[in-house]
Amino acid sequence: KFPTDKAYFIAKELLTTERTFQKDLAVITVWFQAVLSKEDVLPDSVRTLINTNYDPVYQFHQFFLKEVEQRLQQWEGRSNAHIKGDYQRVGDVMLKNIQGLKQQLTSLLQRHGEVLVELERSCRSSQRLEEACREFEQQKVCYLPLNVFLLRPLHRLLHYKLILERLCKHYPPTHQDFRDSRAALADISEMVLQLQGTMMKMENFQKLLELKKDLTGIQDLAIPGREFIRLGCLSKLSGKGLQQRMFFLFSDSLVYTSRGMTADNQFKVHGQLPLYGMTVRVSRT
C-alpha cells in the first residue's frame, strides 16, 4: 500500500518533474549537439559554451535525481532501508543539495546570456546553422523552441521554491522534516531574489529571439537593452475597408505588421517608429 500523506504526493511531484527536467537538459547537452555535430555545422564557440555551462548542470541533476528516486523508494517501502530509519521526508535531500545547486545555477546565469548571444550571432552568419537549428526544433525530441530549453534551469529553480513552500505550509512545526524544508526554502528564496533581475533579462532576450523568427523585414531585433513590452491588434481603415494590423511595442520602438502569406505564417513588417520624441494623443471619441 502506497503512502497517502500529502507530503508524499508533493515529493512524488518533485520526482516526476525532475525526470522531465533531466530530459529537457538532455535536449541541449546530448541531442542538440549530436544532431548538429553530425551535420558539421555547430561552431566550436557554441559547443564550448554549452559544454562548460550546461554539462555540469546536467551531471549535477543526474545525481540529484538518483537521490530523490532512492528516497521515494524508501518512502514507499520498496527498499529495506526504510526499516533502519524514517525516510518519509524529502526536505533533507533538497537541503543537502542546495549548495551544489546554487553553485551550478549561479555559474550558468553569469554566462547564460553569452550562450544565447553566441548562438544567435552564429545563426546570423551561417544560413546552414540557422536551417539546422530550425530543423532540430521540428524534431519530436525538441517539443519547444530551442531557446526555451536553454532557460529551463532558471525556471526549475522557481519550481523548487513552490514545492518547498507547499511542504512548509503542509508540515506542522513539530514535524521532523519541517526544519530542513524551511532551511531549504530560505536558501532557495535567497537565490531567486539574487538572480531575479538576471532571469528577467534572459527571458526578455529569449522573447526577442522568438519574435525575430515571427517577423520578416526587420533587422537586428534582438539587441542589448531592448525590452519587449506588449503586442496588440488594431484595424486600419482604408479604401479596401478595415485591414488588421498587429503592433509590437518595444522599449525603444513601435513595430506595425500584417500577417504574411508565408509557410510559417510570419508577420510582415510595414514600419518601425522610434519612441523617442513620439507624442501619444488620446482620442476624445
As to burial, measured by CB atoms within 10 angstroms (0-12 exposed, 13-18 middle, 19+ buried), residue 263 is exposed
Model confidence pLDDT, tens digit, residues 248-262:
999 999 998 988 766
Which pLDDT score, from 0 to 100, does residue 81 have?
A: 54
Q: How confident is the model at residue 80 (pLDDT cuts 50, 70, 90)?
A: low
The residue-averaged pLDDT of 169-184 equals: 95
Query: What is the rounded end-to-end Cα distance, in angstroms, of the chain?
Result: 68
Architecture of domain 228-274: Roll (2.30)
Task: Compute the average pLDDT of residues 127-150.
Answer: 90
Task: Give residue-wise pLDDT tens across range 203-259.
Answer: 898 888 888 888 888 888 888 789 999 999 888 777 777 888 899 999 999 998 988
pLDDT band of residue 83 (cuts 50, 70, 90) is low
The confidence score (pLDDT) of residue 199 equals 82
Q: What is the pLDDT of residue 29?
A: 94
Res 85 pLDDT > 60: no
**Cell numbers standing for residue 240:** 479596401
Q: What percent of the chain has pLDDT over 70?
A: 94
CATH fold of 6-215 reads: Dbl Homology Domain; Chain A (1.20.900)
Distance of CA 114 to the CA centre of its chain: 15
Confidence of residue 69 (pLDDT cuts 50, 70, 90): very high
The SS3 call for residue 137 is helix
How do the domains of the chain map onto residue ranges? Answer: 6-215, 228-274
Say what the pLDDT of residue 139 is. 92
What pLDDT does 218 receive? 85
With a cut of 90, say whether residue 27 has pLDDT above it: yes
What average pLDDT score do residues 55-71 get?
Answer: 95
Q: What per-residue confidence (pLDDT) applies to 195? A: 84
Grid cell listed for 226: 531592448
Indicate if the pLDDT at residue 198 is higher than 60. Answer: yes
Mean pLDDT of the chain: 88
> Residue 174: pLDDT above 90?
yes
pLDDT at 17 (0 to 100) = 97
Confidence of residue 76 (pLDDT cuts 50, 70, 90): confident
- Sign of the Cα pseudo-torsion (130, 131, 137, 140, in order): negative
Beta pairing partners, 230:
249
Mean pLDDT, rounded, for 146-160: 90
CA diameter of the chain = 82
Give pLDDT, residue 219.
80
3-state helix, strand, coil in the chain (%, to 5): 60, 15, 25
The full length of the chain comes to: 285
6-215 shares its CATH topology with 228-274: no
Helix axes 178-214, 152-170, angle to 10 degrees: 150
Order of strands across the sheet that contains 253-259 = 215-216, 267-274, 253-259, 241-250, 228-238
Contact 119, 84 (CB under 8 A): no
